[in-house]
């Protein structure tokens, strides 16, 4: 049967060299730089006029900027096709009938040297199309859109970028969970849709909400009288900045705005004020602020994501003077002169999540000073989760007066102490991992009064146990979350925390 199948192909394409063969179906693939086969439908009818496409899949589409798409039109009556001079690598073979209404994907095939494989062609299925209307000016020429699970990728043209209207065609029918944007020149994958969608045989239009679909905070940043308390610049204009001056101008007012940073911006040890209703989002793996900090005072509704903060002489992020509803997420902080994320003076409703804190002396100070009771008491409601404290020294965080929930945190080789609860603070530590941390927590420290600290479900690896005191508080009285089991925390945080990791985990 195999010889009968291969005979017309070998007669038609005499260039094929058949040194080794494996049989599994109805398409013949030679790995000597040439790929051949037959296109047919589920009944076995060969499809004259059909097309075959090879799509290179060396990496995940989010990180593969060199995908090779090779198209071969089938013109003979036997439905046969031939690819020549195919670079060595791994591919998916996709076949479609003449009017593009039917398609099938053969699982990964490897094009190497001197090997012939016979692979199955799956039953052809009806295709659909998707029109995507990006309502905010977030697209640039060279951006890529792809739908995981469909093998459909699309390179955005300049016309599509300016109009915000993109069409993806030839999508196999089915239900999909994500539409992904990969900005030009980056491997950062940004989800544009937060809900599943169905592709049928008709064209449909989806309008993704860029900022909200990138994800939303958990914890205290969600607590408010209205839903979606911390949404940043959603609904405002989107602009890209690449220097200190344009950054300062973009952040100075209280007008809703999404501010994209596409390179490292140097600030010479200065702080940049941030007004209300802003999203600050890094576009790329190694973009952010060098010797430049962000100062939030009295303002509210601010999102800071996917930035690298490095070598600053001041704070990286300073939140003070009754600032509210702040989300600091998926950033990498390295060697600042003062605090990395300091929160003081009656600020409230803040979530600090999925950050990578590295090589720093005092990571996060909560509460201004021991004698600032009148201003800080009853405030400083803060959630820390899924942060990686990587060889930091102490203050992870150091809390005065605040109500602070720490869950699924990873403490990795802390030289001093990990957590301090002082001055009547209320701290809950849940399902965290302490690895080589001799002093996991302290009560009082240098302050005159103890704080409350309770722990539950934590994992200690060659570490001391928590010093606890009092009753603290119940986070469930404020919000609902799902806590990861402590045995999963180390790997999950190391995989997902820091800049460039927005799509590493399904969770937010």
State residue 464's pLDDT score. 97
Count CA atoms within 13 Å of residue 124 on its CB side: 25
What was the pLDDT predicted at 78?
Answer: 65
DSSP string, 125-141: EEEEEEEEE--SS---T
Instruction: Find the helix or strand (DSSP H, E) in which 487 lies.
Output: helix 486-496
Q: Residue 115: CA atoms inside 13 Å, Cβ hemisphere, count?
A: 12
Whole-number Å distance between alpha carbons of 366 and 368: 7
> From first to last of its 508 residues, what are the pLDDT tens digits of the chain?
333 232 233 323 333 333 333 333 344 454 457 777 776 655 566 666 677 777 776 544 444 444 556 666 665 666 677 777 777 777 777 777 666 556 666 656 777 765 555 555 555 666 777 887 764 435 678 888 888 877 778 888 888 877 778 888 778 778 887 787 776 766 556 666 656 788 887 777 777 644 333 467 899 999 975 555 788 987 788 898 999 999 999 999 999 999 999 899 998 889 999 999 999 998 877 899 999 999 999 999 999 999 999 987 688 999 999 999 999 999 999 977 778 999 999 999 999 999 999 987 889 999 999 999 999 999 999 999 999 999 999 999 999 999 999 999 999 999 999 999 999 999 999 999 999 999 999 998 888 899 999 999 999 999 999 999 999 999 999 999 989 999 989 988 888 899 877 643 222 2
DSSP reduced 3-state for 152: strand
Which CATH superfamily hosts domain 126-208?
Carboxypeptidase-like, regulatory domain (2.60.40.1120)
DSSP string, 197-224: EEE-SSEEEE---HHHHT----GGGG-S
Strand partners, 30: 116
pLDDT score at 262? 86
Tokens of 149: 């699970």
List alpha helices for 140-284, DSSP H.
158-163, 210-213, 244-252
Write down the pLDDT at residue 443: 93
- Residue 64 CB coordination number (10 Å): 17
Q: What is the per-residue pLDDT for 502?
A: 66
Say if 126-208 and 282-496 have the same CATH topology.
no
Predicted local distance difference test score (pLDDT) of residue 45:
61
Q: What does the pLDDT read at residue 4?
A: 28
The number of beta carbons lying within 10 Å of the beta carbon of residue 209 is 16
* Number of H-type helices and E-type strands within the chain: 6, 41
Report pTM: 0.64
Fold designation for 2-123: Immunoglobulin-like (2.60.40)
Return the pLDDT at 21.
Answer: 36
CATH architecture of 282-496: 3 Solenoid (2.160)
Domain boundaries, the chain: 2-123, 126-208, 282-496
User: So what's the pLDDT on residue 1?
Assistant: 32
Under 8 Å between Cβ of 467 and 444: no
CB 233 within 8 A of CB 325: no
Burial class (CB in 10 A: 0-12, 13-18, 19+), 122: middle
Neighbours of 207 (CB within 10 A): 12
């Amino acid at each position: 049967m195999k010889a009968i199948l291969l005979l017309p192909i070998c007669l038609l394409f005499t260039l094929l060299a058949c040194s080794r063969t494996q049989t599994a179906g109805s398409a013949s693939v030679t790995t000597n730089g040439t790929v051949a086969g037959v296109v047919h439908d589920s009944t076995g009818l060969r499809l004259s006029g059909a097309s075959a496409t090879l799509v290179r899949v060396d990496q995940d589409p989010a990180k593969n900027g060199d995908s090779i798409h090779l198209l071969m039109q089938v013109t003979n009556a036997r439905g046969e096709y031939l690819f020549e001079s195919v670079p060595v690598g791994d591919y998916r073979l996709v076949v479609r009938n003449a009017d593009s209404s039917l398609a099938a994907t053969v699982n990964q095939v490897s094009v190497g040297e001197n090997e012939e494989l016979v692979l199955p062609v799956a039953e052809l299925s009806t295709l659909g199309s998707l029109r995507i209307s990006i309502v905010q000016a977030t697209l640039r020429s060279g951006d890529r859109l792809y739908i995981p699970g469909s093998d459909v990728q699309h390179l955005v043209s300049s016309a599509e970028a300016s109009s915000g209207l993109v069409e993806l065609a030839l999508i196999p029918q089915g239900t999909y969970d994500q539409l992904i944007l990969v900005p030009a020149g980056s491997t950062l994958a940004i989800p544009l849709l937060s809900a599943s969608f169905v592709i049928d045989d008709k064209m449909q239009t989806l309008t993704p909400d860029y900022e909200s679909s990138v994800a939303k905070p958990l914890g205290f940043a969600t607590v408010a009288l209205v839903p979606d308390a911390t949404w940043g610049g959603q609904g405002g204009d989107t602009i890209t900045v690449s220097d200190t001056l344009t950054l300062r101008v973009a952040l100075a007012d209280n007008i809703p705005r999404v501010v994209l940073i596409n390179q490292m911006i140097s600030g010479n040890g200065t702080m940049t004020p941030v007004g209300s209703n802003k999203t600050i989002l890094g576009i790329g793996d190694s973009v952010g602020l060098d010797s430049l900090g962000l100062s939030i005072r009295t303002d509210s509704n601010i999102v800071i994501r996917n930035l690298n903060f490095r070598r600053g002489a001041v704070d990286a992020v300073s939140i003070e003077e009754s600032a509210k509803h702040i989300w600091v997420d998926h950033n990498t902080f390295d060697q600042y002169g003062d605090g990395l994320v300091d929160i003081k003076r009656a600020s409230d409703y803040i979530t600090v999540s999925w950050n990578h804190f590295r090589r720093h002396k005092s990571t996060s100070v909560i509460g201004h000073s021991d004698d600032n009771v009148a201003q800080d008491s009853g405030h400083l409601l803060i959630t820390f989760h899924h942060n990686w404290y990587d060889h930091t020294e102490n203050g992870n965080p150091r809390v005065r007066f605040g109500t602070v929930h720490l869950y699924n945190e990873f403490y990795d080789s802390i030289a001093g102490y990990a957590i301090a609860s002082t001055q009547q603070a209320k701290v809950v530590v849940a399902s965290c991992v302490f690895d080589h941390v001799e002093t996991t927590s302290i009560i009082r420290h240098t302050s005159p009064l103890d704080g409350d600290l309770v722990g539950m479900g934590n994992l200690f690896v060659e570490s001391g146990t928590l010093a606890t005191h009092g009753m603290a508080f119940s986070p469930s009285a404020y919000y609902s979350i799902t806590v990861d089991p402590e045995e999963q925390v180390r790997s999950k945080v190391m995989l997902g925390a820091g800049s460039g990791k927005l799509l590493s985990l399904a969770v937010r």
